[in-house]
């Protein structure tokens, strides 16, 4: 793929240490960022977004860059995550989709047939020029010590939105298609893997130092189905040379049964939700991975002392995971920041995590 | 507690074998029933419910009995599950709650303070007389070979509806209350444990042969929080002598990390959702338990041959669990029947399961 971003802003990530390198090789600091750190919990975000829809704002380079920078300025986190949405590549490619407040992404028409799959547009480089421009702008503004993580939805979660037509509790149409029409499923997932690959490559070419694949809803599957119907496509994305060249994190909610499989997708970091303590997660993943997580975002609504105690527990579990072979711990939430979160609670977490001193002799 | 049901229909469950006894001691048949087998997937249910709200219908003895019987007649399942809803005891006690179609239970006002908890009414025996009458009627109509399972929501899931004010994806207010005001939480859970106990005792007194506690949303918690904030109250319900005298099943969705704890609550049967294969579940539970589950209800929307193959896999996994020490396998879904399910798919599952021959020498 050839995007203008490749010409305009070649990545110099090779010269910058990725944040997690600070936790390996004896360094003593646990880096952190927060999933959905940019967004509705920040008053400066609400002001910046006024008069613009979510999807419009993702394709306005200056605005997307500003929103990406806001939590870095406010919290001093160790990474920026590029402000986007899982359906942005679909929207950019011309698929009929809108994000409805309080609901989530809603498709004009669900995609459930071979014809509908084949009618999906291919994502063209120029359609995500605004994304590349925004990434490049953010990378230019960030300190070298702060990593910029590229953002994309994983093929399964994208497929679920397309097949269900919107957010779903049970993903029943997605599963019915997967089980009953595996050829249609495979073609859909191939298209989405290709789209996701282009979307990530453009961000890396524009300056992203690392990427995270959000497979938010993949925890709805058991392990056998994950291996058969999902893993090949996520692996295809992650093994693309330009993507395999940067640190790669995979995250989904409720993935306790899938952690072993996820760790074998060609990732460097495994995101863990709050249900599985990090030291337990370490017993499930392939060796030599960084673990990322895993504060329950609901804890941010609890009392400060309760929150701080839980953060400390997670830091301790992360150390036990490192002592058992994990190559690092990136502190994060176990899912995205909830809209009602008080930013002061996140600031408190940053203080607690940055005050913590990691030790291999733990 | 003294309910009219105790007088009108003393249980003779001691004289009836509970269905699961057929899988232990060398018998060769795997019994089954389906969570939410009575309900929106059945045309006869839709006809019976016409002109009546969900909560009204739960407190109309003849109608609740008829709805409970419908799937037994249609499918020939091995158990009836009493037709009710998790919020019925709240509704019967006078708490302001409605079930909104397409949404679920919605409270007039969320319960988030000590005052609100203390203002919760106590469930009086006469308020659930209609339930006792319906149970008694069903037990009178059922063959002796078919078990009648009493129904109740577990305290945590009831608490989540009360504190959130309705269904919730993240249960954040529930968790905030639990973490930040543990005394309020404990008082709320004590009240709900008492209400659940009364509700189940009335059903047992009226003729229920067994009970199932539905802790649908408890999988939102990690194991430490489950042990601290939930287990004591569920254990209180299950250790009540009248309840401890009948077979007791506990079910929640996404409970892979909790199965060990759930098996230690004083249950005889552990419900397993579809994410954890039954033989894997067996490695997590305390010895000597029956396992119940675990077909993904979304499979009922897939092609017949896919469905049948998956049912066979589950039967095989159930046998492996029995060979590893489980005292039985009750076939069921891994969550409730989805409204769009074609009843023919469920009939096909019944045929496959009943044609299967269990063997200890597997």
Task: Kindly report, residue by residue over B188-243, the tens digit of the pLDDT.
Answer: 999 999 999 999 999 999 999 999 999 999 999 999 999 999 999 999 999 999 99
Looking at A165-298, list the stretches that DSSP marks H as alpha helix, in order from N- to C-terminal side. Answer: 172-180, 182-205, 223-225, 231-238, 241-244, 259-263, 278-282
Specify the pLDDT at position A27. Answer: 57
3-state SS, residue A191? helix
Inter-residue contact B172 to A297 (CB < 8 Å):
yes
Specify the pLDDT at position B170. Answer: 92
Across the interface, whether the CB atoms of A172 and B338 are under 8 A apart is answered yes
Burial group, residue A290, by CB count within 10 angstroms (0-12, 13-18, 19+): buried
Q: Which residues of B touch A301 (CB under 8 A)?
A: 172-173, 175-176
CA-based nearest residue in chain B for residue A309: B179
Q: Which residues of A touch B301 (CB under 8 A)?
A: 172-173, 175-176
Looking at chain B, list the stretches that DSSP marks H as alpha helix, in order from N- to C-terminal side. Answer: 4-8, 43-49, 54-58, 61-75, 88-93, 114-118, 129-141, 155-164, 172-180, 182-205, 223-225, 231-238, 241-244, 259-263, 278-284, 304-323, 343-355
Specify the pLDDT at position B29. Answer: 86
Q: In what helix (H) or strand (E) does residue B146 lie, and over which residues does it extend? A: none
* Joined tokens for residue B92: 């019967």
- CA angle, corner A77, sides to A245 and A135, nearest 5? 50
For chain A, the domain total comes to 1
Distance from CA of A305 to the nearest CA of B (A): 9
Specify the pLDDT at position B358. Answer: 74
Weakly modelled stretches of chain A, pLDDT under 70: 1-15, 20-27, 359-362
- Find how far residue A245's CA is from the centre of its chain: 17
- Strand runs (DSSP E) across chain A, as ranges? 79-81, 97-100, 104-107, 147-153, 210-214, 248-251, 269-271, 290-295, 328-333
CA-based nearest residue in chain B for residue A303: B180
Query: Crossing angle for the helix pair A231-238 and A182-205, nearest 10 degrees?
Result: 20
Spatial distance between the Cα atoms of A68 and A301, rounded to a whole number of angstroms: 23
Q: Could you tell me the CA-to-CA distances from B322 to A9, A324, B34, B252 in Å, in that order? A: 61, 34, 20, 21
**B171 annotated ligand-binding residue:** no
Q: Is residue A327 part of a domain?
A: yes
Query: pLDDT digits over B343-362, tens only?
Result: 999 999 999 999 998 765 43
Q: Is residue A87 part of a domain?
A: yes
The answer, yes or no, to whether residue B10 has pLDDT greater than 50, is no
Inter-residue contact A66 to A35 (CB < 8 Å):
no
Q: Is residue B199 part of a domain?
A: yes
**A275 annotated ligand-binding residue:** no
From A40, A235, A275, A348, active-site residue: A40
Query: Crossing angle for the helix pair B172-180 and B182-205, nearest 10 degrees?
Result: 110
Length of chain A: 362
Nearest to B274 among A180, A222, A275 (CB): A222
CA-based nearest residue in chain B for residue A221: B275
Q: Is the dihedral of CA B239, B240, B243, B244 positive or negative?
A: positive
The answer, yes or no, to whether residue B25 has pLDDT greater than 60, is no
Q: Is the dihedral of CA A193, A108, B101, B160 positive or negative?
A: positive
Q: Is residue B245 part of a domain?
A: yes
Q: Which residues of B touch A156 (CB under 8 A)?
A: none
* Joined tokens for residue B327: 């005292």
Residues of B identified as active-site: 36, 40, 49, 85, 161
Q: Could you tell me the CA-to-CA distances from A79 to A208, A266, B122, B312 in Å, in that order? A: 11, 21, 52, 48
Looking at B239-335, list the stretches that DSSP marks H as alpha helix, in order from N- to C-terminal side. Answer: 241-244, 259-263, 278-284, 304-323
**B347 annotated ligand-binding residue:** no
Residue recorded with tokens 């009843």: B343
Specify the pLDDT at position A277. Answer: 98
Interface mutation target, options A103, A179, A223, A257, chain B, most CBs of B under 10 Å: A179
Q: Is residue B285 part of a domain?
A: yes
Inter-residue contact B107 to B166 (CB < 8 Å):
yes
Q: Is residue A230 part of a domain?
A: yes
The answer, yes or no, to whether residue B7 has pLDDT greater than 90, is no
Across the interface, whether the CB atoms of B306 and A180 are under 8 A apart is answered yes
Distance from CA of B301 to the nearest CA of A (A): 6
* Joined tokens for residue A20: 């997690």
pLDDT band at B4 (very low <50, low <70, confident <90, very high): very low
CA-based nearest residue in chain B for residue A222: B275
pLDDT band at B27 (very low <50, low <70, confident <90, very high): low
Inter-residue contact B199 to B191 (CB < 8 Å):
no
Identify the domain containing residue A298 by its residue range. 10-102+129-159+189-355
Q: Is residue B312 part of a domain?
A: yes
The per-residue pLDDT of chain B, averaged, comes to: 93
Distance from CA of B237 to the nearest CA of A (A): 25
CA-nearest of B35, B30, B256, B269 to A222 is: B256
CATH of the domain at A224: 3.20.20.210
Specify the pLDDT at position B15. Answer: 58
- CA angle, corner B296, sides to B43 and B83, nearest 5? 40
Query: pLDDT digits over A150-182, tens only?
Result: 999 999 999 999 999 999 989 999 999 999 999
- What separation, in Å, do the N-terminal and C-terminal C-alpha atoms of chain A show? 46
**B85 annotated ligand-binding residue:** yes
The answer, yes or no, to whether residue B17 has pLDDT greater than 90, is no
Distance from CA of B196 to the nearest CA of A (A): 26
Name the region of B171 (left: φ>0; alpha: ψ -120 to 50; beta: rest): left
Across the interface, whether the CB atoms of B298 and A171 are under 8 A apart is answered yes
Looking at B32-152, list the stretches that DSSP marks H as alpha helix, in order from N- to C-terminal side. Answer: 43-49, 54-58, 61-75, 88-93, 114-118, 129-141
Q: Provide residues of A within 8 Å CB-CB of chain B.
A: 170-173, 175-176, 179-180, 219, 221-222, 254, 256-257, 274-277, 296-299, 301-303, 306, 335, 338, 340
Specify the pLDDT at position B162. Answer: 98
CA-nearest of A118, A126, A59, A123 to A94 is: A123
Strand-pair category, B210-214 with B147-153: parallel
Q: Catalytic site residue A223?
A: no
- Find how far residue B32's CA is from the centre of its chain: 14
- Strand runs (DSSP E) across A38-168, as ranges? 79-81, 97-100, 104-107, 147-153
**A16 annotated ligand-binding residue:** no
Ranges A22-31, A128-137, B72-81, B282-291: which has the least confidence: A22-31
Inter-residue contact A230 to A264 (CB < 8 Å):
no
Residue recorded with tokens 């830091």: A315
Inter-residue contact A270 to A289 (CB < 8 Å):
yes
- Find how far residue B250's CA is from the centre of its chain: 7
- CA angle, corner B212, sides to B209 and B217, nearest 5? 170
Residue recorded with tokens 């460097």: A268
- Find how far residue B70's CA is from the centre of its chain: 18
The answer, yes or no, to whether residue B16 has pLDDT greater than 80, is no
Q: Could you tell me the CA-to-CA distances from A4 to A199, A211, A245, B308, B329 in Å, in that order? A: 13, 19, 20, 51, 60
Interface mutation target, options A102, A281, A294, A301, chain B, most CBs of B under 10 Å: A301
Spatial distance between the Cα atoms of A254 and A292, rounded to a whole number of angstroms: 14
CA-nearest of B89, B42, B90 to B67 is: B42
**B198 annotated ligand-binding residue:** no
Specify the pLDDT at position A18. Answer: 78
- Find how far residue A273's CA is from the centre of its chain: 13
Query: pLDDT digits over B106-141, tens only?
Result: 999 999 999 999 999 999 999 999 999 999 999 999
Across the interface, whether the CB atoms of B219 and A297 are under 8 A apart is answered no
Inter-residue contact B133 to B8 (CB < 8 Å):
yes
Query: Crossing angle for the helix pair B182-205 and B155-164, nearest 10 degrees?
Result: 120
Q: Is residue A121 part of a domain?
A: no
Across the interface, whether the CB atoms of B338 and A301 are under 8 A apart is answered no
Q: Which residues of A touch B299 (CB under 8 A)?
A: 175, 179
Q: What is the pTM of this model?
A: 0.93
Question: Between these two residues, A12 and B100, which has the higher pLDDT value?
Answer: B100
Number of Cβ atoms within 10 Å of the Cβ of A341: 23
List beta partners, residue B294. B332
CA-based nearest residue in chain A for residue B170: A298
Specify the pLDDT at position B14. Answer: 53
3-state SS, residue B194? helix
Spatial distance between the Cα atoms of A176 and A197, rounded to a whole number of angstroms: 26
Q: Could you tell me the CA-to-CA distances from A84 to A70, A130, A284 in Å, in that order? A: 14, 11, 31
Q: Provide residues of B within 8 Å CB-CB of chain A.
A: 170-173, 175-176, 179-180, 219, 221-222, 254, 256-257, 274-277, 296-299, 301-303, 306, 335, 338, 340
Q: Is the dihedral of CA A302, A303, A307, A310 positive or negative?
A: negative
Distance from CA of B77 to the nearest CA of A (A): 24
Specify the pLDDT at position A359. Answer: 63
Question: Between these two residues, B13 and B291, which has the higher pLDDT value?
Answer: B291
Spatial distance between the Cα atoms of B204 and B10, rounded to a whole number of angstroms: 9
């Amino acid at each position: 793929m050839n995007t203008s971003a490749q010409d305009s802003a070649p990545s110099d990530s090779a010269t910058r240490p990725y944040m997690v390198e600070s936790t390996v090789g004896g360094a003593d600091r646990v880096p952190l960022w927060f999933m959905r750190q940019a967004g509705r919990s920040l008053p400066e975000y609400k002001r910046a977004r006024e008069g613009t829809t979510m999807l419009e704002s993702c394709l306005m380079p200056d605005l997307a860059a500003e929103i990406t920078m806001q939590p870095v300025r406010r919290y001093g986190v160790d990474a920026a995550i590029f402000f986007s949405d899982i359906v942005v590549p679909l929207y950019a490619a011309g698929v009929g989709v809108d994000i409805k407040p309080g609901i989530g992404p809603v498709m004009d028409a669900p995609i459930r047939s071979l014809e509908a799959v084949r009618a999906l547009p291919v994502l063209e480089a120029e359609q995500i020029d605004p994304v590349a421009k925004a990434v490049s702008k953010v990378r230019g503004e960030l300190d070298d010590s702060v990593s910029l993580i590229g953002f994309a939805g994983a093929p399964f979660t994208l497929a679920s939105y397309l097949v269900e037509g919107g957010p779903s509790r049970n993903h029943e149409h997605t599963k019915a298609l997967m089980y009953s029409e595996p050829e249609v499923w495979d073609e859909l997932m191939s298209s989405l893997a290709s789209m996701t690959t282009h979307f990530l490559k453009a961000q890396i070419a524009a300056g992203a130092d690392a990427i995270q694949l959000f497979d938010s809803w993949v925890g709805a599957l058991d392990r056998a189905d994950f291996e058969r119907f999902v893993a090949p496509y996520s692996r295809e994305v992650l093994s693309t040379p330009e993507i395999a060249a940067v640190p790669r994190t995979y995250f989904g909610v409720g993935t306790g049964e899938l952690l072993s499989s996820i760790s074998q997708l060609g990732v460097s970091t495994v995101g863990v939700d709050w249900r599985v303590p990090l030291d337990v997660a370490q017993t499930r993943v392939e060796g030599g991975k960084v673990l990322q997580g895993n504060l329950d975002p609901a804890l941010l609504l609890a009392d400060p002392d309760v929150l701080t105690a839980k953060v400390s527990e997670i830091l301790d579990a992360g150390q036990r995971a490192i002592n058992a072979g994990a190559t690092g711990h990136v502190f994060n939430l176990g899912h995205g920041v909830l809209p009602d979160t008080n930013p002061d609670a996140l600031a408190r977490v940053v203080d607690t995590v940055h005050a913590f001193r990691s030790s291999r002799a733990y």
